[in-house]
Structure 1
Amino acid sequence: MNGPPSVFGAVHLGYLVIETNHLADWRRFGTDAIGMHRDDPDSGLTRFRLDDQECRFLIRRGPAEDVVAAGWHIDDHPTFERIEARVRAHGVPVAEGTAEEAALRGVERLLRFPGPKGITQEIYTTPLTSPEPLRMLASGFVTGDSGMGHIALTSARPTLIRGYFTTVFDARLTDYIDETISGARLRIRFLRVNERHHSIAVAGVRGLPVDPVRTRVQHLNIQAATLDDMARSYQRVHELGFDMALSVGQHTNDKELSYYARTPSGFEWEVGWNPLVVDESTWEPSTHQGISVWGHTPMGASVIDRLAQFRNSARSLAHPEQTVPALSGPGIPDD
């Protein structure tokens, strides 16, 4: 007997909502360093575009200094309703966004529900496009069927996060990376919901029930259209005085060339180029040792940074990580 239809392939990362009290720095970072198109609806809001869609990043004034919501573009109304029904069937509350919230995100309507690490998950079917020509320093970014990039989380409960995205979006495990950073052993799970190698990465600290990162996201990623676009944005980040987290390098698993800048809110922003696209007919999950073939050298790390990381880890013991047990499945043995 066949199970319910899968929604895999009909889900794409569409936008992110970021809350900050460093709005002026974010405007300069996004426009002058990364090279995106910027609109400022009012003094407390900024939107960045990567393509013809009205909004890919909504930056609003507030104290979080973090990603607070992720918007997922769903291909059609039947798939949208299937996802909504799944969430409701597990007893998780679903709320409709207001007309104003939808307009700010550049969509016709949206539904929202709780997500791991306190990041609200939002789904929509119809993005609004802008007739206004793009004003960007970059020649373009890769979006389309792959979505606009990926988000990466650290977690003391990575299996629950994988279970969540499997339950809600039929996410598939692409591969793992085993890495040791500052003495901590990490197993990173890469999850895909379409042809992009991963739309969600989850780094679990092995053997320690702590989360070393203050922010809900460790980094987010966008994909430059050309190698020249990536290299020029790397140069602008340096020249404008923004912190660089990792130098240019190439990943072991998706082969993407990229660098990591540090945003005004503290989490990292990866600009990448030319990751591989998964062929569903042949792909098998595997484990890679280390995140990089070459490069991705830490930049600017100091004793103070390491002490801050230790404090964040200790703080995470006192404040349990937010999960959504009802949508996280029975637990998936994947180690």
Structure 2
Amino acid sequence: MTTTAALPSVFGAVHLGYIVIETNRFTDWHRFGTDAIGMHHDALDSGVTRFRLDDQECRFLLRRGPAEDVVATGWHIDDHAAFEQIEARIRAHGVPLVPGSAEDAALRGVERLLRFPGPKGITQEIYTTPRTAPDPLRMRASGFVTGEAGLGHIALTSSKPTRVRGYFNTVFDARLTDYIDETISGVKLKIRFLRVNERHHSIAVAATRGLPLDPIRTRVQHLNIQAATLDDLAQSYQRVGELGFDMALSVGQHTNDKELSYYARTPSGFEWEVGWNPLTIDETTWRPTTHQGISIWGHTPVGQTIVDKLDQFRRGARSLTRREDTVPALSGTGIPDD
């Protein structure tokens, strides 16, 4: 097996670019994305629809299907040299890559698309040169923060968090930002936050302490996007409630990245965090630490019943007998258990 240890780091050249969601609930997603969250919507045909946050053609691609979940994440790579470096290290570990078709690339609004297996069955896609849309944005929000920090972040639950962390370290040279220890309904959690650029984290990985449980039905626990203004955050929070969508957590402020945010429940069941004003990382001074609890204030659960808690317990128990795919060839060595 070829070693890639001597290759330079791609950290900083990687940005979360788009998310692919499979759903049959297009009407509900249209209302949720445009009327509640405030994004720009483009309906391409009966089986594909997209949301925009900025001048890029696609930030969320929804395709028709039964998963009701995230099925792929797209990562924008700054240049061809970094793209080829990531491609080489994946091939060196014996993991297959599949070129995206011209149609796949067009739907995502990108060029030079490659896909390969990712943790929890979420396909990872890398691309260069996102296309910009000629039409102006039509959306209820004044804007969203993307740019060098990327789209936002994706949060997973895992029974093998060290392997998930190792995967993103191997592929993207992800760095550990910090940890949060939290207890929810008597269950102790440890959450790892990983960054690939100046954004505090592009990936969060939550795991239960003790038994390797995974109580979440979907592959992702939540997605995050960053509102441009506090007014955008407050107004979308109000619209979510007025339009009858479920709120998972009320407005609050996180302990680690200091982001003000709320969590709504999407039509597919996973959560959607809208945040504002998280801190950015200064690589010259940052050191990983552990925070106690996810919130300084707020983030109060909304509408959770004892039935919901029992359902989570049953899912967690069933996960003990279910194999979690971590793509072992890319899960890395040299990262200590934590």
Same-fold status (TM-score > 0.5): yes
Give the aligned partner of residue 122 of structure 2.
Answer: 119
* 1:199 maps onto 2:193 in alignment: no
Shift of 1:334: 4.6
Query: Helix, strand or coil: the match of 2:54?
Result: coil
Counterpart residue identity of residue 221, structure 2: Q
Matched, 1:151 2:154: yes
Q: 1:241 to 1:331 in 2, by over 3 A?
A: farther
Q: How many residues align?
A: 334
Instruction: Name the amino acid aligned to 1:53.
Output: Q
Corresponding letter in the other structure for 1:11: V
Tell me the SS of whatever aligns to 1:258: strand
The residue that corresponds to 1:79 in the other structure is 82
Q: Does 1:328 pair with 2:334? A: no
SS in 2 for 1:110: strand
- The alignment partner of 1:196 has SS state of coil
Letter in 2 for 1:119: I
What is the identity, as a one-letter code, of the residue corresponding to 1:51? D
Q: Distance in 1 between matches of 2:225 and 2:94?
A: 34
Report the equivalent of 1:33.
36
Gaps of 5+ in 1: none
Aligned partners of 2:64 and 2:322: how far apart in 1? 25
Please show how residues 292-307 of structure 1 align to structure 2 within 5 Å: 292-307=295-310
Question: Which of 94, 98, 101 in structure 1 is aligned with 2:101?
Answer: 98
Q: Secondary structure at the match of 2:282?
A: coil
Tell me the amino acid that sits aligned with residue 136 of structure 1: M
Q: Tell me the SS of whatever aligns to 1:318.
A: coil
Could you list the runs of 4 or more consecutive aligned residues of structure 1 that deviate by over 4 angstroms after TM superposition? none
Q: How much has 1:28 moved relative to structure 2?
A: 0.7
- Residue 322 of structure 2 is matched in structure 1 by 319
Root-mean-square deviation (Å): 0.9
The answer on whether the counterparts of 2:177 and 2:288 sit within 8 Å (CA) in structure 1 is yes
Q: How far apart, in 2, do the equivalents of 1:199 and 1:330 lie?
A: 21
Letter in 2 for 1:273: W
Deviation at 1:331, TM superposition (A): 5.4
Matched, 1:63 2:66: yes
Question: Shift of the alpha carbon at 1:109?
Answer: 2.5
Q: Does 1:230 align with 2:239?
A: no
Paired letter, 1:250 = Q
Counterpart of 1:309?
312
CA distance in 1, matches of 2:330, 2:111: 26
C-alpha deviations, 1:231-267, integer Å up to 9, x for none? 0000000000000000000000000000000000000
- In the alignment, which residue of structure 1 is the partner of 2:223? 220
The residue type paired with residue 14 of structure 1 is G
Question: Where does structure 2 lack aligned partners over 5 or more consecutive residues?
Answer: none
**Contact 1:159 1:331 survives alignment (8 Å):** no
Q: Distance in 2 between matches of 1:93 and 1:316?
A: 27
Say if 1:74 and 1:125, in contact at 8 Å, map to a contact too. Answer: yes
Taking only the aligned residue pairs, the percentage that are identical comes to 81
Distance (whole Å) between structure 2 residues aligned to residue 312 and residue 87 of structure 1: 33
What is the rounded CA distance, in whole Å, between the counterparts of 1:3 and 1:111 in structure 2? 23
